[in-house]
Amino acid sequence: MAQTQVGWIGLGSMGIGMSKNLQKYLITISAPPLIYTNRTLSRGESLKELGGIPVESVEEVAKKSEIIFSCVSNDAILQETTEKIIASGRIEGKIYVDCSTVHPDTSIKIAKQISEAGGQFVASPVFGASPVADNGKLLFVTAGPSSATSRIEPYIKDVMGRAIMPMGEDVSRSSLLKIAGNILVVSFMEVISEAHVFAEKTGLGSEILETMIGDNFGPVLGSYSKRLTTGAYAPESNGKAGFDAPLAMKDARHAINCAGAVGVKLPVSEVGLRNLESAEAYANEIGGRAIDSSSMYGTLRRVAGLDFYTDLCLMRDGKGLPN
């Protein structure tokens, strides 16, 4: 294992933290340094400082690597990445591990393409936001050939993730579990946003509500509340969201699509999606600012007659002080 060459594709808000932790691990086992690429290669400067080797293309990563990880933003980019990996040359015996959140049908299609080309595909979406990725505490949900999932485990457990949930060989199952998890996340953000607007309009106040959420419902929901009260739901001008709203909307649409295929309704997800779409439309109206997956809070504030941005956000952005 020490001489196995590992490659990485995709350095978004999740991929950069994951790949840095992987490179740190490779150093400890005296393995070859991580080879990586990204559409904007400069995103990998901090990875390069750790010893990672940048290359210009997906094809070069695939050609040089025996195990290839990727974390990309959507199904179309995953399909494009797969085609480039296959076009890179012989991939017999290589393992392709994708950590993106995609539709189960996409995972099935990619697995078939990689298998027909002689490689093995592992669908391995992750649970956790970018700070969790930075800390190497993600939850990995893996599905694919057992020989491949066992081989990649040392690169995941206690390296990029705190735990692995094995889902067998059917790659659609890991995608379905990730989508089920996202149903919960979107729903939690929607109802916590509603509760905060309620607290502000009734005079109860967000501070006491947040204390109750953390004490009564635990640190996870408490952290969701803090995305609202710290202003993370609506980053400053030229700022970057922790998890971009367009990605959350993509995930919600996948959930609604999968549910509809089996005759299930997801009314809370549908409401959350509509509020995210409204938040995106408003952000575009005011100059195309980035918004987080929790930005339905801004939509609900506007519906209640409040500003999209809290006083904290307005002060942060130099737009005025509260009276």
* Catalytic machinery residues: 178
Tokens 């991580």 map to which residue? 34
Strand pairing class (138-142; 126-127): antiparallel
Catalogue the E-assigned strands of the chain: 6-9, 35-37, 53-54, 67-70, 95-98, 120-123, 126-127, 138-142, 161-166
> Contact, 110 vs 98, CB < 8 A?
yes
3-state secondary structure 217-273: HCHHHHHHHHHHHCCCCCCCCCCCCCCEHHHHHHHHHHHHHHHHHCCCCCHHHHHHH
Say how far residue 237 (Cα) sits from the centre of its chain: 22
> Contact, 131 vs 182, CB < 8 A?
no
- Of 289, 267, 269, 270, the C-alpha closest to 279 is 289
